[in-house]
Structure formats: structure tokens, C-alpha cells
Amino acid sequence: MVDRINYNTVLSQVFSPCGNFLAASNTYGDIAVYSLNNVTNPSEVSKSSNGIQHPSHHIRPLEGGNICSLTSTPKFLIAGGIGEIKGQTWDSVTGGKKEKPRFKVLIPAQRERSEQTDVNSLQYNSADERLCAGCGDNNIYIFNLESGKLIRTLSGHTGFIHSINLSENQLVSASEDGTVRLWDMRQTAATNIIKPFENPRLNRPELGKWVGAAALSDDWLLLCGGGPRLSVWHLRSMEVTTVFPMKDLKGVHVAKFHEDRVFAGGAGPHFYQFSLNGQVYGQIPTSASTVYSAELQETPQRILSIAGSSPYIDICTTFNYLDQKLAFALPA
């Protein structure tokens, strides 16, 4: 039997709509649920002997395999696995109730593929209740969440999708094929395509051309990184404005805008915080040798949560240094 206590990889995280709970998924199909009140105000009951917090409980909304991605609506925790997406009410998730998922969405089967595809990245657009799924079959699927019907398929990538990110009706996708594509969600063809590996300032041929993360900010900045170095692009001119100094980061899997800063991590010993012009504001040592997920919120509790190839999740309440660790496993 696999030792889930000492060997674990956390693939995705999401905060509850109220901001008082954190859900984190792993490669074994488990979702650990944490009360952030216990994290920010630890009690002797909720701590183990070494001071590391444990989840209040686990849930398993999918039938097996990886839970590659998580997202949230005001009512549902949504989990993307292999070939399917399921939604469970936050009330049941946070309360530890044994409730069946309220809805299921199936990823369309491809004739040329004999196996089901991973749902690697999920984004929810609250403005029109659309759910976007970036998948291992190179496609992005847009579903009507209320009906579960497929509205649109965004095709064009020739490698699997690592990451998608939304800003109103604009979506950005990062792929194993080395391209970052911009989409108008009302259309089916990409509006712009960039290839970071072709830029000599970004190219790292020893790491490959894949792009592991991409994000949008307002209507004029694009952030992306992977094998190529982490960089900011001006959307209107499609020119690189900043290349970030991350010599010890051998591959970027997480890249996020937050206010006037950039947060990034991947295959390296630190999680970074930068200004938009590339100044290093912070380097947080991580428990994971590779970071695959990071989520942050300002209210009701200020928390940055960093996770990856480790049985622990790192918590930073100041965004500048590591405060404590969460164990993924339930207490013994």
C-alpha cells in the first residue's frame, strides 16, 4: 500500500467562499479540508505533538485517480479528475457530511484517444456561470454550469494544457506545446499566440519549451513561465516587459498576479514574490521540492498557501515568511 503520510503530491488548492476553509487535492484522489480558524489560532486540540496542523477530515468526490484541479463557486467546491468534473456543496465539504456530489460533467471522449483525459486546470466565470476546463487532450472546454452542457470547445494547442486563467471574457492558456494562447470566450479561435521559447531572453533549451503557468492582469499584462523563464508581456504590443531573476527555479508551475506584485514557484527551493519590474521582494523556503499550487487571500484571514511534492502545505500569514505547516494526512 502506498504510504500517503510520507509520500504525497498536492496538485491544487482553493479557499471556500467564506474564506474560513482551505481544500487541497492530491494524486491519490483525496481532498483534505482545513479550518483556517485553527490555522491562524491553533489550539492544543488541533495540533499534533510537533505543532503541525492536520486537516479536520478528508473527502473523495471522484471515483479514483488524480484530482488535478479545484475551483469554487459561491455554493460548490468543484473537482476535476480524469475524464470528469464533479461538484459538491461547500456545506457538506466543510461540515464533513457524507453527501454525494450534486453534479457531474463528463469531458468529451476523443476517437483517437483510448484513455480518458486529465482535467488539469479549472476556472469559473461568475458573470455568466461558465466553467472552463483545460485538459490533457489539448482542448479547453466551456460548460454551462447550470445545465452541464458543453457550450464551446477551444482547440488549437498541440500539447496538453497545463494552466488556464480568466479575466472577464478573455482567457489565457499555457501548454506543453510551448505556446501561450489568448482567447475571446465568445469565439472558437485564439486571438493571439505567443511562443516564449523563441525569445532568446527567455529560452532555456535544457528545460524544454513547455509553458507551465500563465495569468492575466487587467487588460494589458500577461505573465507566463515554464521551461522558458518567467516573464511579463504587454498584451497590446506583445512585447516582453520584464524577465524575472529566478536562477534556482528549474521550471515554473505557478505564476500569479496579486495587486502590484507577482508570485511564482516551481521546481526549486523557494517560492518568490516580485515587483512587476522584477525586484525580488521575498524568497520563501518551501517544503516541496516542486511547487504545483499556491493560493492567497486577504480576507477574512490573510493567508498564502503553498503546496506541491510534499506531505506538507506551507502557510504564510504575512506573505513574506513561513509561519507553519499543514500535514495532508489525518492525525494518527
74-119, pLDDT tens digit by residue?
999 999 999 999 999 999 999 988 888 899 999 998 766 667 899 9
Q: Which residues of the chain have pLDDT under 50?
A: 1-2, 44-46, 48-49
| Separation CA 206–CA 204 (nearest Å) | 5
Residue 109: predicted pLDDT: 81
pLDDT at 45: 46
CA-based angle 233:134:182, to the nearest 5?
A: 30
Supply 45's cell numbers. Answer: 486540540
35-68: b (≥16 Cβ within 10 Å) or e: bbebbbeeeeebeeeeebbbbbebbebbeeebbb
The residues spanned by each domain of the chain are 1-97+312-331, 117-285
**Looking at this protein, which amino acid is placed at residue 121?**
S
Supply angle C-alpha 166, 318, 328, rounded to 5: 70
Model confidence pLDDT, tens digit, residues 170-188: 999 999 999 999 999 888 8
Q: Cα(224)–Cα(213) distance, rounded to whole angstroms?
A: 6
Beta bridge partners of 79: 70, 86
If 0-12 CB within 10 Å is exposed, 13-18 middle and 19+ buried, where does residue 110 land? Answer: middle
Query: How confident is the model at residue 111, as a pLDDT?
Result: 63
Burial of 73 (0-12, 13-18, 19+ CB in 10 A): middle
pTM of the full predicted structure? 0.94
- What per-residue confidence (pLDDT) applies to 44? 46
Write down the pLDDT at residue 113.
64
Domain 117-285: CATH architecture, name and number where available: 7 Propeller (2.130)
